[in-house]
Amino acid sequence: MDTQCISCAGTLEIPADSYQGEIVSCPGCSTELEIQSTHPLELAIAPEPEEDWGE
């Protein structure tokens, strides 16, 4: 589904099989966005990776 980037207001497509918590990148401004909710669709600026992230 198409939605509006909360950073640049451009259009980005969120795949229908997305999960809450996935990170998507806006093709217009490259801002990384976290899907906070899929129904209804809610996006937020993704958190910056922290030093203890990873395996």
Partner 1 sequence: MPLGILLSTVRYEERRLLSELERRDVPVVRLDPRTMSFAPKDVEGLRGMTVLNREISSQRAALAAESLEAFGARPLNDASATRVCGNKWSTYLRLKEYGIPTPTTLLAPTLETGMEAIASLGYPAVIKPLSSSWGNRVSLITDQYAAEAVLEHCAALPSAVARTVIVQEAVRPGSPDIRGIVVDGVCLGAIIRSSSDWRNNVARGATAEQHAPSEEIHRLCVRAAAAVGATIAGVDLVERADGGYTVLEVNSRVEFQGFERATGVDVAARIVEACPAELIEVKEPV
Residues found near partner 1 in the complex (CB under 8 A): 19-23, 34, 46-47, 50-55
Output the smallest distance, CB 52 to partner 1, in A: 4
CB-wise, 2 or 52, nearer to partner 1? 52
**Spatial distance between the Cα atoms of 9 and 51, rounded to a whole number of angstroms:** 30
Single-letter code of the amino acid located at 27: P
CB-wise, 5 or 35, nearer to partner 1? 35
The token duo for 14 is 């969120």
Output the smallest distance, CB 50 to partner 1, in A: 6
Task: Evaluate whether 23 touches 14 at the Cβ level (below 8 Å).
Answer: no
